Amino acid sequence: MYHQIVASIVRQGFIDISAGQFENVLAKFAPNIVFSFLGDHALGGEKHGLEAVRKWFAQIHGFFPNLRITPTSIVVSGWAWNTVVITHFTVQASLPNATQYNNQGLQILRIRWGKIVEDRLFEDTAKLQNALQQLE
């Protein structure tokens, strides 16, 4: 039952991010959150703390205002004191030249006592870099 509840919360988080409801997601993060997005591009790097992650969310929605992230598979392991969640997801967004950005990725979350302490995102960086170049 615990794993189903966690998966439901994670699924809702993707809905909130897609709707630009960052504060709903940020409320689930620990104050000392470690957040990373793999790759050497405008969205890449490691962020520490809620304010840095808040800025990252604003940045990604600045690039992709109609961003849609859809979880396709969510796997939850562990218990409340040390939960690991792995999510496979797809990403879609419209680009200014009327093409569609489509990508997929993985997210690894670590949760302790109901707060996300670590969030690591991995997307196909070549596809993402190509889309970001189209936005320049």
Q: Domain boundaries in the chain?
A: 2-135
Spatial CA neighbour of 37 closest among 136, 99, 113, 129? 129
Architecture of domain 2-135: Roll (3.10)
78-130 pLDDT, tens per residue? 999 999 999 999 999 998 888 899 999 999 999 999 999 999 999 999 999 98
pTM value surpassing 0.85: yes
